[in-house]
Amino acid sequence: MTRSRRAKSPLFESEEPQLGLFDRQEGGRPDRAQTQRAELESLRNRLPVKVRFGTSSWTFPGWAGLVYAKRYGNQKTFLRESLGEYAAHPLMRTVGIDRGYYTPVPEEDLAAYARQLPEGFRAAMKVWQQVTMPGYPKHPRYGNDAGKRNPDFLNAALFAESVHAPVRAAFARHMGPWIVEIAPSPFPIDPDWFCDRLGAFLRDVPRDFPFAVELRDHKLLTERYARTLRDNGASHVFNYWSRMPGIAEQMRVDGLLDGAPVVARLLLPPGKRYADLKEAYAPFDRIVAPQPQMRHDVVALVRAALARNAECYVLVNNKAEGSSPLTVQALAKLLCSEP
Protein backbone atom coordinates (compact mmCIF):
# COMPACT_ATOMS: atom_id res chain seq x y z
CA MET A 1 0.00 0.00 0.00
CA THR A 2 1.22 3.51 -0.80
CA ARG A 3 2.13 5.42 2.36
CA SER A 4 0.72 8.90 2.83
CA ARG A 5 2.99 11.90 3.32
CA ARG A 6 2.11 13.05 6.81
CA ALA A 7 3.81 16.39 7.31
CA LYS A 8 3.23 18.93 10.02
CA SER A 9 0.58 21.48 9.17
CA PRO A 10 1.62 25.17 9.10
CA LEU A 11 -1.91 26.11 10.23
CA PHE A 12 -1.31 26.00 13.94
CA GLU A 13 0.50 28.57 16.04
CA SER A 14 2.87 26.06 17.66
CA GLU A 15 4.55 25.45 14.31
CA GLU A 16 6.69 27.52 11.95
CA PRO A 17 5.02 30.64 10.52
CA GLN A 18 4.11 30.99 6.87
CA LEU A 19 3.34 33.89 4.57
CA GLY A 20 -0.32 34.86 4.40
CA LEU A 21 -2.13 35.16 1.12
CA PHE A 22 -1.47 38.91 0.95
CA ASP A 23 1.99 39.13 2.56
CA ARG A 24 4.83 40.58 0.50
CA GLN A 25 8.39 39.45 0.12
CA GLU A 26 11.38 41.77 0.54
CA GLY A 27 11.51 44.60 -1.98
CA GLY A 28 7.72 44.91 -2.12
CA ARG A 29 7.31 42.22 -4.79
CA PRO A 30 4.11 40.15 -4.60
CA ASP A 31 4.81 36.65 -3.32
CA ARG A 32 3.72 33.46 -5.00
CA ALA A 33 0.58 33.22 -2.87
CA GLN A 34 -0.54 36.69 -3.98
CA THR A 35 -0.06 35.74 -7.61
CA GLN A 36 -2.03 32.53 -7.13
CA ARG A 37 -4.82 34.43 -5.41
CA ALA A 38 -5.04 36.89 -8.30
CA GLU A 39 -5.22 34.00 -10.77
CA LEU A 40 -8.03 32.36 -8.80
CA GLU A 41 -9.98 35.62 -8.64
CA SER A 42 -9.59 36.06 -12.39
CA LEU A 43 -10.86 32.50 -12.92
CA ARG A 44 -13.81 33.11 -10.58
CA ASN A 45 -14.81 36.19 -12.56
CA ARG A 46 -15.08 34.09 -15.72
CA LEU A 47 -17.29 31.39 -14.20
CA PRO A 48 -21.06 31.38 -14.83
CA VAL A 49 -22.90 32.73 -11.80
CA LYS A 50 -25.15 29.67 -11.59
CA VAL A 51 -22.20 27.31 -11.04
CA ARG A 52 -21.28 26.55 -7.43
CA PHE A 53 -18.05 24.66 -6.87
CA GLY A 54 -17.12 23.36 -3.43
CA THR A 55 -15.78 20.43 -1.45
CA SER A 56 -17.10 17.63 0.73
CA SER A 57 -16.39 19.05 4.18
CA TRP A 58 -13.61 21.59 4.74
CA THR A 59 -11.56 20.74 7.85
CA PHE A 60 -8.32 19.45 6.32
CA PRO A 61 -5.06 20.95 7.67
CA GLY A 62 -3.30 19.69 4.54
CA TRP A 63 -5.04 22.47 2.61
CA ALA A 64 -2.70 25.05 4.13
CA GLY A 65 -1.56 27.23 1.25
CA LEU A 66 -4.37 25.95 -0.99
CA VAL A 67 -7.37 27.21 1.00
CA TYR A 68 -6.00 28.33 4.36
CA ALA A 69 -3.45 31.06 5.12
CA LYS A 70 -4.48 32.05 8.64
CA ARG A 71 -2.90 30.46 11.68
CA TYR A 72 -5.18 28.84 14.25
CA GLY A 73 -4.39 28.32 17.93
CA ASN A 74 -4.98 24.58 17.76
CA GLN A 75 -6.95 21.88 15.98
CA LYS A 76 -10.13 22.59 17.95
CA THR A 77 -10.06 26.26 16.98
CA PHE A 78 -9.44 25.32 13.36
CA LEU A 79 -12.46 23.02 13.31
CA ARG A 80 -14.63 25.71 14.87
CA GLU A 81 -13.51 28.77 12.89
CA SER A 82 -12.13 27.70 9.50
CA LEU A 83 -15.41 27.71 7.55
CA GLY A 84 -15.25 31.48 7.15
CA GLU A 85 -11.81 31.33 5.56
CA TYR A 86 -12.92 28.45 3.33
CA ALA A 87 -15.88 30.52 2.11
CA ALA A 88 -13.53 33.42 1.29
CA HIS A 89 -11.65 31.28 -1.26
CA PRO A 90 -12.42 32.70 -4.71
CA LEU A 91 -13.75 29.44 -6.18
CA MET A 92 -15.72 28.07 -3.21
CA ARG A 93 -19.40 29.02 -3.40
CA THR A 94 -20.76 25.91 -1.68
CA VAL A 95 -19.65 23.18 0.74
CA GLY A 96 -20.92 19.76 1.69
CA ILE A 97 -21.87 19.45 5.37
CA ASP A 98 -21.31 15.71 5.44
CA ARG A 99 -21.41 15.35 9.23
CA GLY A 100 -25.20 15.57 8.99
CA TYR A 101 -25.19 12.00 7.68
CA TYR A 102 -24.00 10.57 10.99
CA THR A 103 -26.21 12.62 13.28
CA PRO A 104 -28.38 15.73 12.85
CA VAL A 105 -26.28 18.89 13.21
CA PRO A 106 -27.25 20.73 16.43
CA GLU A 107 -28.91 24.13 16.05
CA GLU A 108 -26.10 25.92 17.90
CA ASP A 109 -23.49 24.50 15.50
CA LEU A 110 -25.57 25.56 12.52
CA ALA A 111 -25.84 29.07 13.94
CA ALA A 112 -22.05 29.18 14.35
CA TYR A 113 -21.61 28.12 10.73
CA ALA A 114 -24.07 30.77 9.55
CA ARG A 115 -22.17 33.54 11.33
CA GLN A 116 -19.05 32.70 9.30
CA LEU A 117 -20.64 32.64 5.85
CA PRO A 118 -21.05 35.53 3.40
CA GLU A 119 -24.37 36.48 1.85
CA GLY A 120 -25.21 34.27 -1.10
CA PHE A 121 -23.17 31.26 0.04
CA ARG A 122 -25.15 28.00 -0.01
CA ALA A 123 -24.30 24.66 1.62
CA ALA A 124 -25.46 21.19 0.65
CA MET A 125 -26.24 19.07 3.69
CA LYS A 126 -26.49 15.31 3.97
CA VAL A 127 -29.64 13.87 5.53
CA TRP A 128 -29.22 11.73 8.64
CA GLN A 129 -28.51 8.06 7.84
CA GLN A 130 -31.34 6.97 10.14
CA VAL A 131 -33.64 8.34 7.44
CA THR A 132 -31.67 7.23 4.36
CA MET A 133 -30.45 3.68 5.17
CA PRO A 134 -32.81 0.97 3.84
CA GLY A 135 -31.27 -1.45 6.33
CA TYR A 136 -28.50 -1.56 8.89
CA PRO A 137 -25.11 -2.73 7.58
CA LYS A 138 -23.75 -6.00 8.90
CA HIS A 139 -21.32 -4.31 11.23
CA PRO A 140 -20.82 -4.73 15.00
CA ARG A 141 -21.52 -1.03 15.62
CA TYR A 142 -25.21 -1.65 14.84
CA GLY A 143 -25.54 -4.36 17.48
CA ASN A 144 -28.72 -6.41 17.24
CA ASP A 145 -29.95 -4.28 14.32
CA ALA A 146 -27.05 -5.30 12.04
CA GLY A 147 -28.36 -6.72 8.78
CA LYS A 148 -31.99 -5.86 9.57
CA ARG A 149 -34.40 -3.54 7.81
CA ASN A 150 -34.59 0.05 9.02
CA PRO A 151 -38.17 0.92 10.06
CA ASP A 152 -37.37 4.65 9.72
CA PHE A 153 -36.22 4.44 6.08
CA LEU A 154 -37.52 7.58 4.34
CA ASN A 155 -39.57 8.55 7.39
CA ALA A 156 -40.77 12.05 6.54
CA ALA A 157 -41.92 12.87 10.09
CA LEU A 158 -38.54 11.90 11.59
CA PHE A 159 -36.78 14.01 8.97
CA ALA A 160 -39.01 17.02 9.63
CA GLU A 161 -38.55 16.93 13.40
CA SER A 162 -34.93 15.87 13.83
CA VAL A 163 -33.17 17.05 10.67
CA HIS A 164 -35.11 19.85 9.04
CA ALA A 165 -36.28 21.85 12.06
CA PRO A 166 -32.79 22.88 13.34
CA VAL A 167 -31.73 23.91 9.81
CA ARG A 168 -34.83 26.02 9.26
CA ALA A 169 -34.30 27.72 12.64
CA ALA A 170 -30.58 28.53 12.36
CA PHE A 171 -29.29 28.04 8.82
CA ALA A 172 -32.06 28.89 6.35
CA ARG A 173 -30.19 31.82 4.71
CA HIS A 174 -27.34 29.52 3.67
CA MET A 175 -29.12 26.26 2.97
CA GLY A 176 -28.92 24.76 -0.51
CA PRO A 177 -30.05 21.23 -1.40
CA TRP A 178 -30.56 18.35 0.97
CA ILE A 179 -28.43 15.37 -0.13
CA VAL A 180 -30.50 12.21 0.38
CA GLU A 181 -27.82 9.54 0.09
CA ILE A 182 -29.51 6.15 -0.24
CA ALA A 183 -26.95 3.91 1.42
CA PRO A 184 -26.14 0.43 0.06
CA SER A 185 -28.57 -2.10 1.46
CA PRO A 186 -27.62 -5.39 3.16
CA PHE A 187 -30.50 -7.01 1.27
CA PRO A 188 -31.92 -6.57 -2.27
CA ILE A 189 -34.29 -3.63 -2.83
CA ASP A 190 -37.14 -3.79 -5.32
CA PRO A 191 -36.81 -0.67 -7.55
CA ASP A 192 -40.59 -0.15 -7.72
CA TRP A 193 -40.97 -0.41 -3.93
CA PHE A 194 -38.15 2.11 -3.59
CA CYS A 195 -39.83 4.56 -5.97
CA ASP A 196 -43.13 4.26 -4.08
CA ARG A 197 -41.36 4.94 -0.79
CA LEU A 198 -39.29 7.81 -2.21
CA GLY A 199 -42.34 9.45 -3.79
CA ALA A 200 -44.26 9.33 -0.51
CA PHE A 201 -41.28 10.80 1.35
CA LEU A 202 -40.88 13.69 -1.10
CA ARG A 203 -44.60 14.48 -0.96
CA ASP A 204 -44.67 14.60 2.85
CA VAL A 205 -41.46 16.43 3.79
CA PRO A 206 -41.22 20.21 4.29
CA ARG A 207 -40.12 21.81 1.03
CA ASP A 208 -38.32 24.93 2.23
CA PHE A 209 -35.15 23.69 0.49
CA PRO A 210 -34.55 21.52 -2.61
CA PHE A 211 -33.91 17.79 -2.44
CA ALA A 212 -31.27 15.87 -4.40
CA VAL A 213 -31.19 12.06 -4.19
CA GLU A 214 -27.93 10.13 -4.44
CA LEU A 215 -28.04 6.42 -5.26
CA ARG A 216 -25.39 3.91 -4.25
CA ASP A 217 -27.09 0.96 -6.02
CA HIS A 218 -27.10 1.09 -9.83
CA LYS A 219 -30.16 -1.19 -9.98
CA LEU A 220 -32.27 1.68 -8.59
CA LEU A 221 -31.23 3.97 -11.47
CA THR A 222 -34.37 3.51 -13.58
CA GLU A 223 -36.61 5.67 -15.71
CA ARG A 224 -39.31 5.33 -13.07
CA TYR A 225 -36.88 6.73 -10.52
CA ALA A 226 -36.30 9.72 -12.83
CA ARG A 227 -40.08 10.23 -13.14
CA THR A 228 -40.49 10.02 -9.36
CA LEU A 229 -37.97 12.82 -8.93
CA ARG A 230 -39.56 14.94 -11.66
CA ASP A 231 -43.10 14.43 -10.39
CA ASN A 232 -42.06 15.52 -6.90
CA GLY A 233 -39.80 18.44 -7.77
CA ALA A 234 -36.54 16.75 -6.72
CA SER A 235 -33.28 16.18 -8.55
CA HIS A 236 -30.70 13.43 -8.94
CA VAL A 237 -27.13 13.54 -7.63
CA PHE A 238 -24.79 12.65 -10.48
CA ASN A 239 -22.17 10.85 -8.44
CA TYR A 240 -18.70 9.68 -9.35
CA TRP A 241 -18.52 6.67 -7.07
CA SER A 242 -16.80 3.33 -7.31
CA ARG A 243 -19.89 1.16 -7.80
CA MET A 244 -22.13 3.46 -9.84
CA PRO A 245 -22.18 4.03 -13.60
CA GLY A 246 -20.13 7.00 -14.75
CA ILE A 247 -21.61 10.48 -14.87
CA ALA A 248 -21.96 10.38 -18.67
CA GLU A 249 -23.94 7.13 -18.44
CA GLN A 250 -26.18 8.56 -15.72
CA MET A 251 -26.89 11.55 -17.95
CA ARG A 252 -28.28 9.19 -20.60
CA VAL A 253 -31.14 8.04 -18.33
CA ASP A 254 -34.22 9.73 -19.78
CA GLY A 255 -35.49 12.57 -17.60
CA LEU A 256 -32.67 12.53 -15.07
CA LEU A 257 -31.47 15.99 -16.10
CA ASP A 258 -34.90 17.56 -15.64
CA GLY A 259 -34.48 18.38 -11.94
CA ALA A 260 -33.05 21.55 -10.47
CA PRO A 261 -30.64 22.28 -9.00
CA VAL A 262 -28.32 19.91 -10.85
CA VAL A 263 -25.95 18.32 -8.32
CA ALA A 264 -22.72 16.39 -8.86
CA ARG A 265 -20.66 14.71 -6.14
CA LEU A 266 -17.19 13.45 -7.06
CA LEU A 267 -16.19 10.75 -4.60
CA LEU A 268 -14.29 7.59 -5.61
CA PRO A 269 -12.82 6.32 -8.90
CA PRO A 270 -14.18 3.00 -10.20
CA GLY A 271 -13.10 -0.03 -8.22
CA LYS A 272 -11.40 1.95 -5.43
CA ARG A 273 -11.98 1.75 -1.68
CA TYR A 274 -12.42 4.81 0.51
CA ALA A 275 -10.10 3.64 3.28
CA ASP A 276 -7.26 2.81 0.90
CA LEU A 277 -7.37 6.19 -0.83
CA LYS A 278 -7.66 8.06 2.45
CA GLU A 279 -4.36 6.53 3.52
CA ALA A 280 -2.66 6.95 0.14
CA TYR A 281 -3.77 10.53 -0.58
CA ALA A 282 -3.39 12.21 2.84
CA PRO A 283 -2.70 15.06 3.61
CA PHE A 284 -4.70 15.92 0.44
CA ASP A 285 -2.41 18.70 -0.76
CA ARG A 286 -1.77 17.47 -4.32
CA ILE A 287 -3.41 15.72 -7.24
CA VAL A 288 -2.29 12.08 -7.02
CA ALA A 289 -4.40 10.37 -9.68
CA PRO A 290 -5.95 12.75 -12.25
CA GLN A 291 -9.26 11.61 -13.74
CA PRO A 292 -9.51 13.40 -17.11
CA GLN A 293 -12.65 11.58 -18.25
CA MET A 294 -14.42 12.46 -15.01
CA ARG A 295 -13.47 16.11 -15.47
CA HIS A 296 -14.82 16.25 -19.02
CA ASP A 297 -18.03 14.48 -17.95
CA VAL A 298 -18.56 17.00 -15.14
CA VAL A 299 -18.05 19.94 -17.51
CA ALA A 300 -20.55 18.38 -19.93
CA LEU A 301 -23.03 18.04 -17.06
CA VAL A 302 -22.52 21.65 -16.00
CA ARG A 303 -23.02 22.87 -19.56
CA ALA A 304 -26.22 20.82 -19.85
CA ALA A 305 -27.48 22.44 -16.63
CA LEU A 306 -26.60 25.93 -17.85
CA ALA A 307 -28.37 25.28 -21.14
CA ARG A 308 -31.54 24.80 -19.06
CA ASN A 309 -30.73 27.85 -16.92
CA ALA A 310 -30.46 25.56 -13.88
CA GLU A 311 -28.21 26.21 -10.91
CA CYS A 312 -25.46 23.60 -10.60
CA TYR A 313 -23.62 22.35 -7.49
CA VAL A 314 -20.34 20.45 -7.91
CA LEU A 315 -19.00 18.96 -4.66
CA VAL A 316 -15.60 17.28 -4.67
CA ASN A 317 -14.13 14.77 -2.22
CA ASN A 318 -10.38 14.46 -1.67
CA LYS A 319 -10.58 10.81 -2.70
CA ALA A 320 -11.63 11.68 -6.26
CA GLU A 321 -8.11 12.73 -7.30
CA GLY A 322 -6.14 13.47 -4.14
CA SER A 323 -6.97 17.10 -3.31
CA SER A 324 -10.46 18.48 -3.76
CA PRO A 325 -9.44 22.19 -3.88
CA LEU A 326 -7.07 21.39 -6.76
CA THR A 327 -9.76 19.35 -8.52
CA VAL A 328 -12.14 22.30 -8.18
CA GLN A 329 -9.50 24.55 -9.72
CA ALA A 330 -8.94 22.12 -12.60
CA LEU A 331 -12.67 21.85 -13.28
CA ALA A 332 -13.09 25.63 -13.23
CA LYS A 333 -10.25 26.06 -15.72
CA LEU A 334 -11.66 23.38 -17.99
CA LEU A 335 -15.14 24.89 -17.88
CA CYS A 336 -13.77 28.32 -18.79
CA SER A 337 -11.46 27.01 -21.50
CA GLU A 338 -13.87 24.84 -23.46
CA PRO A 339 -16.05 26.67 -26.02
Dump pLDDT digits (tens) for 25-49.
444 455 787 889 999 999 999 999 9
What's the mean pLDDT in 235-244? 96
Among 196, 229, 190, smallest CA distance to 210 is for 229
Q: What is the number of domains present in the chain? A: 1
Residue 245 lies in a domain: yes
Worst-scoring range by mean pLDDT, 19-28, 56-65, 126-135, 183-192?
19-28
How far is it, in rounded angstroms, from Cα 4 to Cα 281? 6
Whether 89 is covered by a domain: the verdict is yes
Determine, yes or no, domain membership for 35: no
Q: How far apart are CA 195 and CA 332, in angstroms?
A: 35
Q: For residues 95-133, b (16+ Cβ closer than 10 Å) or e, as one string?
A: bbbbebbeebbeeebbeebbebbeeebbbbbbbbbbbbb
Residue 249 lies in a domain: yes
Mean pLDDT of 281-291: 97
Q: How many residues does the chain have?
A: 339
Between 32 and 212, the higher pLDDT residue: 212
Residue 339, pLDDT above cutoff 80:
no
Task: Name which of 85, 90, 112, 115 is nearest 99 in CA terms.
Answer: 112
Does residue 47 belong to any structural domain of this protein?
Answer: no
Q: Residue 305 falls within a domain, yes or no? A: no
For position 25, what pLDDT does the model report? 42
Q: What is the pTM of this model?
A: 0.92
> In terms of Cα–Cα distance, which of 78, 81, 58 is closest to 325?
58
Mean pLDDT check: name the lowest of 24-33, 172-181, 299-308.
24-33
- CATH code, domain with 227: 3.20.20.410
Q: In which element (H, E) is residue 156 found?
A: helix 156-158
- How confident is the model over 297-313, as a mean pLDDT? 97
User: Which tens digits make up the pLDDT trace of 82-117?
Assistant: 999 999 999 999 999 999 999 999 999 999 999 999
Share of the chain above pLDDT 70, in %: 91
What's the whole-number average pLDDT of the chain? 92
Q: Can you give the pLDDT at residue 124?
A: 98
Whole-number pLDDT of residue 141: 87
Q: What is the pLDDT of residue 26?
A: 44
Task: Report the Cα 33 to chain-centroid distance in Å.
Answer: 26
- For 150, the domain range is 57-263
Confidence grade of residue 237 (pLDDT, cut at 50, 70, 90): very high
Query: Is 4 within a domain?
Result: no
pLDDT confidence bin for 19, thresholds 50/70/90? very low
**Has residue 34 been placed in a domain?**
no
Judge whether residue 325 has pLDDT over 70. Answer: yes
User: What pLDDT is recorded for position 27?
Assistant: 47
